[in-house]
Each structure stands twice: as structure tokens, then as C-alpha cells.
Amino acid sequence: GGQRFGEMEVWALEAYGAAHTLQEILTVKSDDVRGRSKVYEAIVKGDNLPEPGLPESFNVLIRELQGLGLDVELIEESLNGNF
């Protein structure tokens, strides 16, 4: 079974300065399915861990906003710092 990580627990980790743990809990241990498999593969191969992707809940939020008629799109920053 899964574990619930609520808003107050997130605040507690933020206050404690555990940014990497919080990022892991909210992405690859949450609903970033592709990221989870990439992290597992990197651990098995002994490689460095990849950057976490977007959680599926964020994609759901974007689709809900688009369903309300809002023109929402994700603008990703490229590796050289330009948009």
C-alpha cells in the first residue's frame, strides 16, 4: 500500500531543509511513472539519477484548466537557458 504525504508533512520537510527528499517524494515516488522507471534503471546500472519529470497530477491540472476554456500551455526552458 501507498503512504499519504499531506500538506503539513510537506511544510515540515520544507522547514527542515530536506529539499531533495521532498522532491523525490513528490515526483518519482508519487505519480511520475516514466521517471520512476528511469530512476530504477539508473540505480540498477549504477548510473547517476536523472532529473525528475512532471507528476501526472500536474498534467491533469493543465487539462482541467484547458477544459474550463483557458489557453494553458507548458513552456519548457532549454538547456542553454533560453525559452
Please report the pLDDT score of residue 50 as a whole number: 83
Whether 79 shows a pLDDT value over 70: the answer reads no
Within 13 Å of residue 9, how many CA atoms lie on the same side as its CB?
A: 9
The pTM assigned to this predicted structure is 0.55
What pLDDT, in 10s, does the model give residues 33-71?
A: 778 888 889 889 999 988 877 778 888 899 999 999 999
Whether 1 shows a pLDDT value over 80: the answer reads: no
| Dihedral, 12, 17, 23, 29 alpha carbons, nearest 10 | -60
Percent of the chain having pLDDT more than 90? 28
Residues near 59 by beta carbon (within 8 Å), at least 6 away in sequence: none
The residue written with cell numbers 536523472 in the block is 50
Listed by start position, the domains of the chain span 7-67
Sequence-separated (6 or more) residues with CB below 8 Å from residue 28: 35, 36, 39, 52
Q: Which of 27, 71, 31 is nearest to 51 (CA)?
A: 27
